Amino acid sequence: MNIDYTEKIPNNVGLGDHPSLQRALEHWQPAFLNWWGDMGPDGSADIDVYLRTAVSVDPAGWANFGYVKMPDYRWGIFLNPAEPDRRIGFGDHKGEAAWQEVPGEYRANLRRIIVTQGDTEPASVEQQRHLGLTAPSLYDLRNLFQINVEEGRHLWAMVYLLHRHFGRDGREEAEALLERRSGDPDHPRILGAFNEATPDWLSFFMFTFFTDRDGKFQLCALAESGFDPLARTTKFMLMEEAHHMFVGESGIARVLQRTCEAMVQHKTEDPAKLRSLGVIDLPTIQRYLNFHFSVTIDLFGADVSSNAATFFSTGIKGRFEEGKQADDHLLKEATYPVLEVSSDQIVTREAPALNTLNEKLRDDYIRDTLAGVGRWNKVMQKNAIAFQLTVPHKAFNRQIGNFSGVKIASDGRILSAAGWEANVGTWLPTEADKAHIQSLMGRVVEPGKFANWIAPPPMGINKQPVNFEYVRFN
């Protein structure tokens, strides 16, 4: 499964054996590079970045590290090896051979799922494009750029499926993926969280912790798909996603560490005092967490959804760890609890499991998130600081599903509009919070130096020292 880098488009899918497909993708390639030039990392065209590039999809040796100018990054098409005789694991086609071609009757839904996933990839690059100008260190700058090139590759992964399996519609969708723009009121990206700004590095680390983790759960559900090429490509994408979440989790842990050091050294919990010391007080970090958590859990969609039922029954999207679920994988009779508002209270009711698969995936996601937040809390424990981060109630600040339009406190109490207005500043970042974070953002590019608001990482990338020159400016 080695990747052929002598091809114009590196790939392990035998692209050379499909000349018309190869031509179509070679036609899309310059459009992608133009998009990268316009919307990729600001001011990055001429710098050398210590990046990893996939050389094989074999877990033992897939990454190769070296200096690359980002426009020269070898974006390509990599699928995990085919599992011989793979069978569909759930839904009405359970036990049948996985599909190598798109079944005609599921074509529209599969295309929609691939386009929606594909749209998030360039969206996050667009959201993050100015962050390089305020990187807190070369180490962090390199990690940002690594994520950006890999999101670009994830776009390639989805575009390959569109070109290979969806004919002319697929080619048109691939073009449209380069035309929408994150946050553009006339031509936005498809999903809400991917139109929010990522204006600073605290937001970036929260985004990669929370929103790239949404990516993980969506990709895991698609890795179960009966459409085998989708399953194989998402499995390889998941290997890259793990690094994105690492950047978020370790980034916030380092912010917490630095804040705790200042709290201990100056014997203070006072946010104003901590701000004057140039660090980020813990309640502000909690508010950023609340925002990113609530916006991200909306990405899983409506609590009760007939589309989710269709995607599962038809075998195109499974559950997280479908193989480990101890049930019949059909879910015709099963139920699942969902929350809803009933006479000013949040109540639980059982709904058909098939229709609540979005909610199930959201709950799996929340469980994974809680474990990560628990690891963050160890930073405070180690520094003997009583403050603990929490995740807000699932109903807090929701725009999609049963709670959209309802004002709910971070602890789950239903509020009047006035009650919400009076307290929203304790739950979500305020203008003053954002201004403080913005005031801390300045570029630190001396090897081994870090901005004051973030601790250095315990170790470097690929066994390099922390003070390694991860990015070289020319």
Residues near Fe ion (CB under 5 A) are 121, 151, 154, 212, 215, 241, 244
Distance CA 417, CA 407 (A): 7
Distance CA 367, CA 111 (A): 29
Quote the Cα angle for 21-22-28, to 5°.
90
User: In whole angstroms, how close is the CB of 215 to Fe ion at the nearest point?
Assistant: 5
If the CB atoms of residues 154 and 287 are measured against Fe ion, the closer one turns out to be: 154
Instruction: Give the DSSP letter string of 395-420.
Output: TTT--SSTTTT--B-TTS-B--HHHH
DSSP 8-state secondary structure symbol assigned to residue 335: E
User: In whole angstroms, how close is the CB of 113 to Fe ion at the nearest point?
Assistant: 15
If the CB atoms of residues 196 and 212 are measured against Fe ion, the closer one turns out to be: 212
CB atoms within 10 A of CB 366: 16
If the CB atoms of residues 213 and 407 are measured against Fe ion, the closer one turns out to be: 213
List CB contacts of 318: < 8 A, sequence separation 6 or more. Answer: 89, 90, 91, 221, 223, 224, 225, 312
Residues 119/190, Cβ–Cβ less than 8 Å: yes
Half-sphere exposure of 169 (CA within 13 A, CB side): 10
User: In whole angstroms, how close is the CB of 426 to Fe ion at the nearest point?
Assistant: 31
User: In whole angstroms, how close is the CB of 243 to Fe ion at the nearest point?
Assistant: 8
User: In whole angstroms, how close is the CB of 212 to Fe ion at the nearest point?
Assistant: 4
If the CB atoms of residues 118 and 456 are measured against Fe ion, the closer one turns out to be: 118
User: In whole angstroms, how close is the CB of 213 to Fe ion at the nearest point?
Assistant: 9
Alpha-helical runs (H) found in 196-227: 201-222
If the CB atoms of residues 124 and 290 are measured against Fe ion, the closer one turns out to be: 124
User: In whole angstroms, how close is the CB of 151 to Fe ion at the nearest point?
Assistant: 5
If the CB atoms of residues 136 and 152 are measured against Fe ion, the closer one turns out to be: 152
* Collapsed DSSP state (helix, strand, coil) of residue 65: strand
Cα-to-chain-centroid distance, residue 120? 8
If the CB atoms of residues 244 and 329 are measured against Fe ion, the closer one turns out to be: 244
If the CB atoms of residues 151 and 298 are measured against Fe ion, the closer one turns out to be: 151
Largest CA distance in the chain: 68
Cα-to-chain-centroid distance, residue 337? 26
Residues in the chain: 474
User: In whole angstroms, how close is the CB of 208 to Fe ion at the nearest point?
Assistant: 7
Distance CA 351, CA 362 (A): 15
